[in-house]
Structure 1
């Protein structure tokens, strides 16, 4: 179905035939042993991805200012301030970055740049749903790399394509057991999407706001204010330390942050789901599962209580599709179909993750939006 909004052609779908994805779309899985010294944890893994990491970082340095002129300061600091920044980060993150630098051969400043980049740029769709029996499911699309180098021949975003070879699932172990799992880009040590079995699952969406993450980065780099957390390190802290859904929600709602964002959290028990709309210093809104008698929550990159921008309304089609599926169809299959439907699936979408907090079930698949199947938006 196509709708014309002020000359913007948007394809809206609610598909039912995308599950199951082919086995070769499952992301490769690696183990990071938290009992090992932080500087050693990533060395062997990143050594196999040297070319991909070098290619990505070279491209990022060239085109990062296309996102915003304000970000040029990061490029200017790659060889001066950013290497020293690793020593200012809370443990174990600085030492892990040093290990990634040693294992990949990348300069430490470039590894730091890679790991702080999410603070200032990403798009996403996240959904939490509860079925008629009270089971909680959590799905998310990660959209990344838009506005950086549109390839007119292949109709793709260049940065998005350079990220694809780095998509992995990481199982973090402690005392020989899996403590939590994440979907990430290899070499990136924060957590964008993760699950701690039996405790909670979480995804993060960028919040489009004036004076976003780059202000917090400036404050951190120049030691103006370091009493704040990087938004993806806050997630990993909870995945490592949290013992309950409530503890995770409270922390992510209150911790001072470098950047505004949305935290989408699901728990193992009925009714445990929430969207936390974060400013840097607190929560602007907390929307629990069940509000307005809704059995699901959906979030993209704009405040969910406001009218969505006409050029990027993924929320309204997502809500329509979830309502069409119904409460009796909250499964990995239905969530994957929703997240594989346009415009939730778009040119920036790189993966879909599916999580069930109660059991720890966690699956992640690469995604690719092709124009020949239906009109596919560039953002």
Structure 2
């Protein structure tokens, strides 16, 4: 499996030129069956009970993906079996070190699925270390702000030669859900999640702020921070997806969110993309673990949008994975008077923004709270798909 992945990398680097760029106009509306189901999680329920419905509904899929994780670790190298012991011996105790209510929520999911607590912890902290994405905040000519994103996940986790797809990506697609988090019977915020995952990679608090998290490619990634947390070397840092959920729960303004995401010490480097309900409220916050490296604001270079993939957006993008340049070109073609769910979904559905790793697209309108998620699947029969 790993050998196939390495071979694929060399193939991509040598035939990059055959994958063209697109700026499609005919992908909206998505077929109804591509809309993901919506579940309600009540913050008024005890933490250990909040996820019972979701965990029960997706028990089979959660068990399947965790079995894949463990089998893949051993297939990479049988000598890595000690990592499976780490999952059983060390990770259950991590649940008690997490800020409330996250440890108890994981315990509740473990109980509902029958899976060991260590595996549920692994499932929830794994996303701290690896995810590839395209996120964008755009403003139309009337000052209305939209926030959209593609979530790409699963690179190097098993290439299916028969179907030209990443095995992990295919499994994640079966777990996509929208969640309405409620308090006192009212929707407080909305997110797109993988069932059983309690942090937030994509979310909206209507008329307050929206946020998406993109991984920032780094030699150390989030692994160093995770090791420091697990072995109690440094716990004065925050999990990148829990920060977003905390802010969706408590924050009351765009400015306070930007300030918090700029200053908080983190487990992993990342990009926070944040939108607000007022004209001009859109930023990309480039983060190292301990500091903010850069803030790119909506309006920079007289543009009505800010875009982030997985590399610093003020630098030249890598030749093997430049989604930023084609995305900028496509947005300029469409123009500021065509910033709508339809046009933005067409951008997200155009290659190379859409690729073999793309799991879902989410579209958010800040002032109205409109929030829609659709699963995505790049198919070679339409046009060649990049593996990432």
Taking the TM superposition and a 5 Å limit, the aligned residue runs for 1:104-115 are 104-115=113-124
| Residue of 260, 264, 270 corresponding to 2:269 | 260
3-state SS of 2:174 partner: helix
Question: Counterpart in 1 of 2:200?
Answer: 191
CA RMSD after TM alignment: 1.8
Question: Counterpart in 2 of 1:322?
Answer: 331
Question: Counterpart in 2 of 1:19?
Answer: 28
- Deviation readout 1:170-205 (Å, 9 max, x if unpaired): 100001100000001000000000000010001010
Distance (Å, rounded) in 2 between the aligned partners of 1:277 and 1:74: 31
How much has 1:51 moved relative to structure 2?
Answer: 1.1
| Residue of 289, 307, 311 corresponding to 2:298 | 289
Question: Counterpart in 2 of 1:302?
Answer: 311
Question: Counterpart in 1 of 2:47?
Answer: 38
Distance (Å, rounded) in 1 between the aligned partners of 2:242 and 2:318: 29
3-state SS of 1:190 partner: coil
Question: Counterpart in 1 of 2:136?
Answer: 127
How much has 1:75 moved relative to structure 2?
Answer: 3.7
Corresponding position: 1:373 with 2:382:
yes
How much has 1:67 moved relative to structure 2?
Answer: 9.0
Q: Which moved more, 1:56-65 or 1:83-92?
A: 56-65
Task: Summarize the Cα distance change of 1:269–1:72 in structure 2 as closer, same or farther, 3 Å threshold.
Answer: farther
How much has 1:72 moved relative to structure 2?
Answer: 7.8
| Residue of 57, 79, 86 corresponding to 1:77 | 86
Question: Counterpart in 2 of 1:217?
Answer: 226
CA contact (8 A) 1:242 1:248 kept: yes
Task: Summarize the Cα distance change of 1:283–1:375 in structure 2 as closer, same or farther, 3 Å threshold.
Answer: same
CA contact (8 A) 1:67 1:148 kept: no
Distance (Å, rounded) in 2 between the aligned partners of 1:85 and 1:180: 27
How much has 1:24 moved relative to structure 2?
Answer: 1.2
Unpaired runs of 5+ in structure 2? 1-11
- Deviation readout 1:195-244 (Å, 9 max, x if unpaired): 00010001010000122201001110111111110000000010001000
Question: Counterpart in 2 of 1:147?
Answer: 156
Distance (Å, rounded) in 2 between the aligned partners of 1:350 and 1:37: 31
Question: Counterpart in 1 of 2:366?
Answer: 357
Question: Counterpart in 2 of 1:57?
Answer: 66
CA contact (8 A) 1:64 1:148 kept: no
3-state SS of 1:30 partner: strand
CA contact (8 A) 1:67 1:147 kept: no
3-state SS of 1:78 partner: helix
Task: Summarize the Cα distance change of 1:7–1:227 in structure 2 as closer, same or farther, 3 Å threshold.
Answer: same
CA contact (8 A) 1:12 1:343 kept: yes
How much has 1:65 moved relative to structure 2?
Answer: 7.6
Unpaired runs of 5+ in structure 1? none
How many residue pairs align between the two structures?
376
Taking the TM superposition and a 5 Å limit, the aligned residue runs for 1:234-253 are 234-253=243-262
- Deviation readout 1:98-124 (Å, 9 max, x if unpaired): 000011111100000000011111100
CA contact (8 A) 2:130 2:221 kept: no
How much has 1:11 moved relative to structure 2?
Answer: 2.3
Distance (Å, rounded) in 1 between the aligned partners of 2:82 and 2:271: 25
How much has 1:84 moved relative to structure 2?
Answer: 0.6
What TM-score comes out, normalization by structure 2 length?
A: 0.94
Distance (Å, rounded) in 2 between the aligned partners of 1:89 and 1:53: 21
Corresponding position: 1:345 with 2:364:
no
CA contact (8 A) 2:48 2:104 kept: yes
Distance (Å, rounded) in 1 between the aligned partners of 2:308 and 2:332: 15
